[in-house]
Amino acid sequence: MMNEPDRKPDAEELTDDGLIAMGRETFALEAEALTTVGASLDAEFAGAVRALLASKGRVLVTGLGKSGIVARKLAATLTSTGTPSHFIHPVEAAHGDLGVVRGADILIAISRSGNNDEVVALLERCHHFGMTTMAITCGRESHLAVAADFVLHTPVEREACPLNLTPTSSAAAAAAMGDALVTSLIRLRGFKAEDFAIFHPSGSLGRRLVMKVAELMHTGDELPVVRSSLSLRESLPEIVDKRLGGVCVVDDEGRLAGLVVDGDVKRVLLENENALDLPITKAMNERPTTIDPQMLAIDALRMMEQRKRGPVTLLIAVDDDQRPVGLLHIHDVLRAGLL
């Protein structure tokens, strides 16, 4: 039954509580649908995963309308996790796009009803090429399900849409079924975070998996370093000129002795009238947090934020002989767009 176009929401529906209740109801209905679909998985799902795992070709994913959007998402997710995949439009396929298919390829067709003429026709044509076909559909006895080699049934009886018309729960179920295929393949192939980064070199997810401290830290002339024999007065130009908010203090052999940050300088100045004439060692932290230059930058950021002795904004990168080779500021990590 269609919603009355002139119906106006009552005052209770327009309150914060009323609107929040509507949103929560949608989440509850879709969660219930996903639970039902998950419980219904059977040997067809296992067979589909085995076929995808053994495939030497590509995975083509198709669908129309909302199902087409879900299909595009599945194709993108498969490709980004090591399974070469493409979206193929069921209408365009009938006008030349079928030239891309090969017998070793697999077709995954997504249709809520399973009776979409264009999608069914594409699946049947793919059979002529010797392709393995899979259907993600709510229609267990639909034309698509009957024609497919594997049926990934998504038994959604009612949409979250109050009209029971707009694909909501069914679209979520189809997307979740695709995710279940992808995550199974990730586990079975031993796909690692490093592999993910290879396919996402420009995205923040990829960068955080590969970017090392060595790529971001300040080195050479940018690295603020002073000898432990200097006074605070003699050390100030290095602290001020390098503008990193601190300075590494080293002994006569160049090994790290400590770290002095702006806060340490202010504390000593407040506590001593002749502070500038004191040795720099009187202001330094003798136990600064050090890191390996090959540490992932995102792990260094977590260390800054979650350090047991309190958060810090600077970390010193040292070599095997405990000589400072770089200084990493929290702003360096943030500027790299790793969050």
Domains of the chain: 28-191 (3.40.50.10490), 213-335 (3.10.580.10)
pLDDT of res. 201: 52
Confidence of residue 84 (pLDDT cuts 50, 70, 90): confident
**Dihedrals φ, ψ of 326, to 5°?**
-170, 160
Q: Does the pLDDT of residue 199 top 60, yes or no?
A: no
| pLDDT tens, residue by residue, 256-303 | 999 999 888 899 999 888 889 899 999 899 989 899 999 988 888 888
| pLDDT tens, residue by residue, 111-122 | 999 999 999 999
Report d(CA 20, CA 219) in Å as an integer: 52
Q: What share of the chain is helix, strand, coil (3-state, %, to 5)?
A: 45, 15, 35
Higher pLDDT, 6 or 45: 45
Q: Does the pLDDT of residue 52 top 90, yes or no?
A: yes
pLDDT of res. 2: 44
CB within 8 Å of 300: residues ≥ 6 apart? 213, 291, 315, 328, 333
Cβ–Cβ < 8 Å for 79, 200: no
Q: Does the pLDDT of residue 251 top 70, yes or no?
A: yes
Q: What mean pLDDT is predicted for residues 320-337?
A: 88
Confidence of residue 208 (pLDDT cuts 50, 70, 90): low
Q: Does the pLDDT of residue 319 top 70, yes or no?
A: yes
pLDDT of res. 41: 96
Judged by DSSP in three states, 57 sits in coil
Average pLDDT, the chain: 88
Q: What mean pLDDT is predicted for residues 63-90?
A: 92
Higher pLDDT, 104 or 339: 104
